[in-house]
């Protein structure tokens, strides 16, 4: 699998949050609700037409599989966060970017368990994110993994 290395400055996201192990595809439902009913309520959007999926985790993930996922869009600041949404600042970092035509739990695990070690890439944080060049969640994902 090909990848590229990019330096990305910090940016801000507003979106809807999920916490769990996604065993019931709750993230799919969250994304559907966000894109059909909620996205238009975000007033200070940047780069309209693009979207993000932002994951964070703790050591608990290895025991329970639980992680936090935010489906969202880039914003200028946290001045107008809708009541049912969250705001997160993604730090400036160096990233390995993998183009995933079909983002699944399996394709993400393959990046971490196969491609990162094979390419000698070392994780630098407890998060990653998908960037979509369109608001279509079925579009290819530019999967960003922070690296040292």
Query: By C-alpha distance, which of 56, 58, 92, 54 is closest to 73?
Result: 54
pLDDT in tens, 101-116: 988 888 999 999 999 9
pLDDT value of residue 77:
96
pLDDT in tens, 30-42: 999 999 999 999 9
Q: Are 76 and 44 in contact (CB under 8 A)?
A: yes
User: How many helices (H) and strands (E) would you count in the chain?
Assistant: 4, 8
- Does 135 score more than 90 pLDDT? no
Q: Residues 81-98: what's their mean pLDDT? A: 97
- Does 87 score more than 80 pLDDT? yes
> In the structure encoding, which two tokens stand for residue 17, read together?
């949050």
pLDDT value of residue 84:
94
Q: Are 77 and 58 in contact (CB under 8 A)?
A: no
Q: Residues 72-81: what's their mean pLDDT? A: 96
Q: Residues 76-100: what's their mean pLDDT? A: 96
Query: By C-alpha distance, which of 112, 117, 123, 104 is closest to 53?
Result: 104
Percentage of the chain beyond pLDDT 70 is 99
> In the structure encoding, which two tokens stand for residue 48, read together?
């309209």
Domain 3-147 is in which class?
A: alpha beta
Degrees to nearest 5, angle at CA 93 with 68 and 63: 30
- Does 136 score more than 80 pLDDT? no
- pTM of the shown model: 0.93
Q: What are phi and psi of 11, to 5 degrees?
A: -150, 170
23 vs 89, more confident: 89
- Where in the chain are the domains? 3-147
């Amino acid at each position: 699998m090909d990848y590229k290395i990019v330096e990305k400055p910090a940016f801000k996201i507003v979106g809807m949050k999920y916490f769990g192990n996604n065993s019931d595809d709750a993230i799919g439902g969250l994304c559907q609700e966000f894109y059909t009913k909620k996205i238009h309520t975000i007033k200070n959007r940047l780069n309209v037409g693009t979207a993000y999926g932002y994951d964070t985790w703790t050591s608990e993930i290895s025991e329970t599989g639980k992680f936090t996922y935010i489906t969202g869009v880039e914003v200028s600041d946290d001045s107008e966060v809708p009541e049912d949404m969250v705001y997160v600042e993604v730090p400036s970092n160096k990233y390995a970017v993998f183009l995933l035509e079909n983002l699944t739990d399996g394709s993400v695990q393959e990046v971490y368990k196969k491609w990162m070690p094979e390419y000698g890439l070392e994780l630098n944080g407890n998060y990653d994110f998908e960037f979509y060049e369109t608001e279509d969640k079925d579009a290819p994902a530019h999967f960003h993994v922070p690296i040292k």
